[in-house]
Homo-oligomer: A and B are copies of this chain.
Amino acid sequence: MYTQANTAAAAKVKIKAGFGLDKCNKLQELPCSTRGSFKQNCNCCSMHIVCLAKSVGEESRQVLNGFIQHPRPLRKGEHFYRQNDDFVALYVVNSGAVKTYFINQQGEEYITGMYLPGELFGVDGMDIGRHRYSAKALDTSSICEFGYSNLEQSCQSFPDIQRRLTEILCAEIFQKQQPLLSMRQNSAEQRLATFLTDLSARLQSSGLSATEFNLPLSRRDIASYLGLVEETMSRTFSRLQKRQIVRVSSRSVIITDLPALQALSMNRC
């Protein structure tokens, strides 16, 4: 599971122990126990409130349900798709976390996105038929797969599916990229604060804890995502901890002063 790796470690830590890691990133009270099963359907999935099937009519949901696929969950480090693979489907994270990235000619890796349960990925390449990025599991992750040819057909018959898809595309533009956009001229501290508050909000909207969680990304990846280097990231975490705004121990984070963190980030439009 998500926290497995850290619990043993945390027990050894003196002051930092007792973070309640065992509660981190676990879903609260699912309406029915489908989690863990590879055969799910949207009616019985706690994600439908956020995923592609959100706010579409009953009939539309049945349609989606008809062609949805559930590939086997991938372990940490395995790829859902790679740069230049054919674009064949859109995906929704069911559990775990996924990062997308690309590697340029110089061999440098750029993190382009991080996706949490209920969030849709795979849009890169929707227009050109080939993926621009690679998508990799950050933890053991299960997903729902929506074949694009099926999806495109459904959109023609069911306007609400089309509307929802368009809505998601727009969200992809604004909720994900715009925080980064407006982050360009901000300090390392502001960027990290923005990253953490954003992450917190997204976890909460999937029914997870807003103040205690594990970071899906390593320091290096967060740094890359925020346009900084590993060392700066580490120093910035340390500074926020010294100021009692967060407590961090490796991947686990407790936000102890969310208002302060939000005040630091302040870049909503």
Q: A residues bordering B, Cβ < 8 Å?
A: 83, 102, 104-106, 110, 112, 123-124, 126-128, 132-133, 152, 155-156, 159, 162-163, 165-167, 169-174, 177-178, 180-182, 184-185, 224, 226-229, 266-269
Known: A110-B182, A170-B127, A227-B184. A266 touches B162 (CB 8 A): no
Instruction: Return A199 CB to nearest CB of chain B, in Å.
Output: 18
Q: Does B170 contact A126, Cβ atoms closer than 8 Å? A: yes
With both beta carbons as reference points, the residue of chain B lying nearest to A182 in the complex is identified as B110
Known: A105-B266, A167-B127, A269-B132. A112 touches B173 (CB 8 A): no
Most buried by B among A106, A177, A268: A177
Q: Does A181 contact B110, Cβ atoms closer than 8 Å? A: yes
Residues of the B chain whose Cβ atoms lie less than 8 Å from the Cβ of A229: 185
Q: Does B266 contact A173, Cβ atoms closer than 8 Å? A: no
Residues of the B chain whose Cβ atoms lie less than 8 Å from the Cβ of A268: 104-105
Residues of the B chain whose Cβ atoms lie less than 8 Å from the Cβ of A226: 184
Known: A104-B266, A269-B104. A177 touches B173 (CB 8 A): yes
Residues of the B chain whose Cβ atoms lie less than 8 Å from the Cβ of A106: 266
Q: Does B181 contact A177, Cβ atoms closer than 8 Å? A: yes
CA distance A267 to B106 in the complex (A): 9
Most buried by B among A165, A172, A173, A227: A173
With both beta carbons as reference points, the residue of chain B lying nearest to A167 in the complex is identified as B127
CA distance A108 to B224 in the complex (A): 26
Q: Does A169 contact B173, Cβ atoms closer than 8 Å? A: yes
Q: Does B181 contact A104, Cβ atoms closer than 8 Å? A: no
